[in-house]
Amino acid sequence: SGLLQGKNVVVMGVANERSIAWGITKSLHNAGANLIFTNRQERSYKKLVKLLEKHEINPKQIVSCDVADDESIREAFEEIKNEVGVIHGLIHSVAFAKREELQGEFANTSRDGFLLAQEISAYSLVAVTKAAKELMTEGGSIVTQTYLGSERVIPNYNVMGVAKASLEASVRYLAEDVGKYGIRVNAVSAGPIRTLSAKGVSGFNEKASLIEEKAPLRRGIDQDQVGDATLFFISELSRGITGEVLHVDSGFHIIG
């Protein structure tokens, strides 16, 4: 469908073919969006270029952006402004925590590790919303990626669970701020998906098989399902929704 024909959407967080942001890319592309990518490293830039070629997706622009660095964010959105002028959507699919803090007891979290997880996984949404809203002069939609570990204690998710709680609260406060400019902010809370980041959390296989066993739909989640739910949030089909966290998890979160 041409749900996003003529819309410019920025995608942050494609590391490789397994990234959730890649599933989102495919959904947005199929809906006719013009895509602008940001990535952090030279290594992932090369991967992204290859991936786009392989899938015959013509990016409008690829810019480098490290969300840990305000100057990098400012420069990235300035480059985007110079190239496309107006943007209508932003995908935030970025998170980070130290591997050693994604196991054992949460009580052992270091001050540094706590702050780093908050900075990259939660504050980054605040920082990019501030930059993106200047380019969303025709209104817009911002979508981030979260996980159930924000609401419940999930083994080993630890410091990232606390960062995701902060991310979801940020979604609500940001939604209030930018709503008056016709901009919406929402989150998708996906079930476990095997990606580069997921490998960093111990016990991934147990989590994945629990979904297949206990969730109402009795099956796992993939990047394409998250892509389509994110497409819904970016499109006008969700025009009445903001500040929301939508679970794409085969219904797992309703089961006690």
| E strand segments, 13-128 | 34-39, 61-64, 89-92
Stretch touching ligand 0WD by CB under 6 A, among 52-60, 90-98, 133-141, 227-235 = 90-98
Segment 99 to 158, residues that bind ligand 0WD, using CB under 6 A = 120, 145-147
Catalytic residue among 45, 123, 157, 173: 157
Nearest CA to 124 out of 100, 93, 169, 150 is that of 93
Site membership for ligand 0WD, residue 195 (CB under 6 A) = yes
Nearest CA to 52 out of 35, 31, 33, 32 is that of 35
Whether residue 123 lies in the annotated active site: no
Catalytic residue among 45, 123, 147, 181: 147
Q: Are 160 and 147 a contacting pair, CB within 8 Å?
A: yes
Whether residue 147 lies in the annotated active site: yes
Size of residue set near ligand 0WD by CB under 6 A: 29
Binding-site member from 150, 158, 166, 197 for ligand 0WD (CB under 6 A): 197
Q: How far is the CB of 201 from ligand 0WD (least distance, A)?
A: 8
Site membership for ligand 0WD, residue 93 (CB under 6 A) = yes
> What contacts 36, CB < 8 A, 6 or more positions away?
8, 9, 10, 11, 59, 60, 61, 62, 63, 80, 83, 84, 87
Q: Which residues are catalytic?
A: 147, 157
Binding site for ligand 0WD (CB under 6 A): 13, 15, 18-21, 39-41, 44, 65-68, 93-96, 120, 145-147, 190, 192-193, 195-198
